[in-house]
Amino acid sequence: MQQFEHWPTDIDPVAIFWLTHPPADALATRTRTYPPVSFFTSCRALSPVVLALTLETEAEYLHLPLVLSTRGLLFAEAIGVRGAYHWQPEHLQDSQKQVLYAFARTLLYRSAQEPPTPGVYLVRFAVTPGALHFERLIPFPDESALVTRSSQIPDLFTCHWRCSLGLPVIDVLVHRPAIAYQYSEGHLPSHWLQKACLMPQVSVSDMAQSVQVQGATLAEARVQLLDLTGDSK
């Protein structure tokens, strides 16, 4: 007989925070889906931290996703960010990952006066020559996480939903490298859409204003996306 997971009945799905800081009234009367007010305050008040790591990357920012579920803390592959482009995975050496994981774990548990609320968190670093500068801890999947809809199983939004409902996340895996472009015009240019229809590795979400391309390698995905958008970067 097929076994179904138990879905909690005491959570208002509308109250689960998505892509934004929750409103003040929600924080004042929060359910378990929201971190405490002190958590957001401590995230803003964290002192600047510089990690002496040299990355060979075009990224301006590095987002390290943390998935905190009932099974514990998982680290997803890093997301590279440059302007309107987001990609996963951003290549990191194992030794670099260990430094980032140790910092992120300490950051997550020291920023809260009580155990952190289950969910997806993004640790944001600015990339500079020879160093990563910690900027902020984002307690929800932001727009950079949209690329994981094409690259990762389960994607960070599914992870966030499961964590908020008290369901386990067993593992997070990049099944195929992907790069996304976040356009701001409000509608996808028609010539992009025509080309995208002929490219099976391309997915388009006009609601999210995102174009995503998968590839056997990240370099291949990047070339195809730039060909689609006509960008010379």
* pLDDT tens digits, 107-142: 888 755 567 888 999 999 999 999 999 988 888 899
* Radius of gyration from C-alpha coordinates of the chain: 18
* Structural domain 34-145+152-175, CATH architecture: 2-Layer Sandwich (3.30)
Helix, strand, or coil (residue 134): strand
This prediction's pTM: 0.80
Q: Average per-residue pLDDT in the chain?
A: 79
* Burial class of 83 by CB neighbour count within 10 A (0 to 12, 13 to 18, 19+): exposed
- % of the chain beyond a pLDDT of 70: 69
Torsion over CA of 214, 215, 219 and 225, rounded to 10 degrees? -40
Listed ranges 37-46, 73-82, 162-171, 199-208; the one with the highest mean pLDDT = 73-82
State residue 67's pLDDT score. 96
Structure tokens at 121: 């968190």
- % of the chain beyond a pLDDT of 90: 38
pLDDT over 90 (residue 95): yes
